[in-house]
Amino acid sequence: MNFIEPLLNWYRKNARALPWRKTRDAYRIWISEIMLQQTRVEAVKFYYARFLAACPDVYALAAIDDDALNKLWEGLGYYTRARNLKKTAQVVVSEFDGVLPKSDETLLTLPGIGAYTAGAVASIAYNIPVPAVDGNVLRVMARLFDDPAPIDDAHVKQRVRDTLLLHMPKDCPGAFNQAMMELGATVCVPNGAPHCDVCPVSAFCLSKQNGTQDALPVKSAKKPRRIEEKTVFVLTKNGCPVVCQRPDRGLLASLFQLPDTAGRLSPEQMAAFVGDRGGHITGEIRIYDRRHIFTHVEWRMRVFSAEASFSVLPDGWQYLTENHALPTAYRICLDEPEAAGGAT
Ligand code: SF4
């Protein structure tokens, strides 16, 4: 693959100075790669610094309290990532003397570490020649080879991985993987608008030669998201809302939530929901709508918000404190319509 040298030269001159690029420490690289999977680079910078201040090494992460971990992750979403970080840290402490394994195959056996993360950690921290194939790399490869195969197909991903494994430079696999990702993130960008005029590998790009780059990559048709309607209760005491813990399985498992129930209740049914739990509404009632989109499901929420008093809070209910992590899907329900610019 003749494009490798121009790509690496370009990367050496143009790589963004990102905090996790200043280190070869496997722990730090692993944390950054997990955070970056679903979150924008700019947002990750803040979370990365705060996370490392609280958990500077794998021992601190293995021992962190679950609520403190969720609080560190609050706003990043996909909380399973945080839970798996802690699980993996515990395995690394108990089975690998506190050092992330130096083999991508062993890394792959750890909770939350898939082929991409194993490749990134192994190549960047340990210089092991193994590809790290994320969405950026799949897009670049589809365009470079003018390949119309759907990039979300597992066989296509494996083919791309095999091709890269065969050709990647064995002396600098970490730089090569990062260069591919950087090209995808900053030059060969998605949504039909690659910056081919400044691309270091344009001379080797088949889709540019064929004028097909705007139509690539191809993705399979997605299943439509499931819509779930629910009613969410913001029941406050001196402005502080009641929360309870979610079941330990499924979406947002074990995290805190505002009390809710399936379906869109009428105002009478909402008042009955509170009354049935021993509550008395003591302030103005506000009802508004909120919407939150997860990967496979969309919540359409009717929010009932009011000051309420309880002689005794129902089992499992408590008032929100600054130590509780409240997922964004519920946190947006705390914003009243005026503050949020109307129902969403
Ligand atoms: Fe992407 Fe254009 Fe570069 Fe090809 S020439 S790799 S389409 S930016």
pLDDT in tens, 117-140: 999 999 999 999 999 999 999 999
Beta-carbon contacts of 260 under 8 Å, excluding residues fewer than 6 positions away, are 230, 231, 232, 233, 301
Question: Residue type at 182?
Answer: E
Mean pLDDT of all residues in 263-290:
94
**Number of neighbouring beta carbons within 10 Å of residue 293:** 10
Where does the pLDDT of residue 39 fall: very low under 50, low under 70, confident under 90, or very high at 90 and above? confident
Mean pLDDT, the chain, rounded, equals 94
Q: Exposure of 245 by Cβ count < 10 A (0-12 exposed, 13-18 middle, 19+ buried)?
A: middle
Determine whether the shortest distance from the Cβ of 143 to ligand 1 is under 6 A: yes
C-alpha to C-alpha distance for 261 and 314, rounded to whole angstroms: 15
Integer CA distances (angstroms), 49 to 15, 43, 86, 232, in order: 20, 11, 17, 33
Separation of CA 223 and ligand 1 centre (Å)? 29
Residue 38: its pLDDT value, please? Answer: 80
| DSSP string for 150-195 | -TTSHHHHHHHHHHHHHHS-SS-HHHHHHHHHHHHHHTS-STT---
pLDDT at 264 over 90: yes
pLDDT at 20 over 50: yes
Residue 1: its pLDDT value, please? Answer: 65
Q: What is the DSSP letter of 116?
A: H
234 three-class SS: strand
Separation of CA 183 and ligand 1 centre (Å)? 9
Give the ligand 1 atom nearest the CA of 216.
7
Determine whether the shortest distance from the Cβ of 137 to ligand 1 is under 6 A: no
Question: Residue type at 44?
Answer: V
Residue 221: its pLDDT value, please? Answer: 84
Determine whether the shortest distance from the Cβ of 144 to ligand 1 is under 6 A: yes
Question: Residue type at 62?
Answer: A
Residue bearing the CA closest to ligand 1, atom 2:
196
Residue bearing the CA closest to ligand 1, atom 1:
188
Residue 337: its pLDDT value, please? Answer: 76
With contact defined as beta carbons under 8 Å apart, do 242 and 320 qualify?
Answer: yes
| DSSP string for 65-114 | -HHHHHHHHTTT--THHHHHHHHHHHHHHHHSTTS--SSHHHHTTSTT--
111-115, 189-193, 288-292: range with lowest mean pLDDT = 189-193
C-alpha to C-alpha distance for 210 and 226, rounded to whole angstroms: 39
pLDDT at 45 over 50: yes
Determine whether the shortest distance from the Cβ of 136 to ligand 1 is under 6 A: no
Catalytic residues: 33
Determine whether the shortest distance from the Cβ of 231 to ligand 1 is under 6 A: no
pLDDT at 176 over 90: yes
Mutate to test the pocket of ligand 1, among 4, 199, 214 (most ligand atoms within 8 A of CB): 199
With contact defined as beta carbons under 8 Å apart, do 28 and 18 qualify?
Answer: no
| Percent of the chain topping pLDDT 70 | 98
Separation of CA 41 and ligand 1 centre (Å)? 22
C-alpha to C-alpha distance for 137 and 148, rounded to whole angstroms: 15
pLDDT at 319 over 80: yes
pLDDT at 339 over 60: no
Q: Cα angle vertex 213, ends 207, 217, to 5°?
A: 105
